[in-house]
Amino acid sequence: MGYLTTDRKKITVKTFIEKKNAGEKIAMLTAYDYTTAGIIDAAGIDGILVGDSASNVMAGNADTLPITVDEMIYHAKSVAKAVSHALVVCDMPMGSYQISKEEALRNAIRIMKETGVDALKLEGGIEIADTVRAIVNAGIPVMGHLGLTPQSIHQFGGYGLRAKEEAEAEKLLTDAHALEEAGCFGITLEKIPAILAAKVTESVRCATIGIGAGNVTDGQILVYADALGLTEGFKPKFLRRFAELREQMTAGVEGYINAVKAIDFPNIDESY
């Protein structure tokens, strides 16, 4: 049975905390455009992330670094227009919050004003805690992001598992507490050992959303194009495909081509 319904209440950051406290798992996916976001929202998703992964999925870049604030605003505004129920979170892209707390706040306010999203997401730990606090104090909900943080990919040297060693694991726990104290309502935990994700989840009051962090987090998130089978060649251990839309779309396009070339489309019923 699906969750498609017309009487769902709007999900808020408070709802995420309530779900954590009630032991109810939170389901999130990414979206970058109006049509896709509308379908995902209507299906009953709890949260939609307008991720800087739009740089990869929508623009074909090798990583998330090139995407700009203007481009994130374009995608986030399109998504927010389509969504009635899910919590919509927008990534702050690389360079929009690292230079200074003041510039971060200026960009955060601009994104919120111009898009209509519900919250923002920032990557980093204790080093961005003051920035997170300033944004939260301005009335803007913030989700943190720890573990594999794609904006720091050149520092890590790859997309491998993070926090395998004790020192890095301890730092991640410290970072999680710093983000919680700064006011984050949630923290994304990406590609870390499940046992560490469990420790973080148990030790913070904010909701934890995992991607490649086991099933112990308060919720899960995947890139929609990966989860629904639109991409190819990307097969990390944590990914499960819940549909094969690439195959279905290919078959549909081939059917259209064949119908046009056979002068079968449009037929008399499809003509004026």
Binding site feature residues for 3-methyl-2-oxobutanoate? 52-53, 91, 121
For residue 40, the number of C-alpha atoms closer than 13 Å in the C-beta half-sphere is 31
- Active-site residue (options: 190, 232, 254, 270): 190
The CA distance from 137 to 129, in Å, is 12
b (16+ CB within 10 A) / e for 221-255: bbbbbbbbbbbeeeeeeeeeeeeebeeeeeeeeee
Give yes or no: 202 in active site: no
Cis-peptide, bond into residue 266, ω within 30° of zero: yes
Tell me the angle at which helices 101-115 and 129-137 cross, rounded to the nearest 10 degrees: 40
Q: What are phi and psi of 231, to 5 degrees?
A: -95, 160
The CA distance from 199 to 106, in Å, is 34
* Residue 124 DSSP one-character state: B
The CA distance from 224 to 93, in Å, is 19
The CA distance from 249 to 226, in Å, is 15
Residue numbers in the known binding site for Mg(2+) are 52, 91, 123
Residue (of 233, 245, 185, 218) closest to 40 by Cα position: 245
Residue numbers in the known binding site are 52-53, 91, 121, 123
Tell me the angle at which helices 166-182 and 194-203 cross, rounded to the nearest 10 degrees: 30
Question: Could you tell me if 48 and 16 are in contact, meaning their C-beta atoms sit under 8 angstroms apart?
Answer: no
Q: Which residues are catalytic?
A: 190
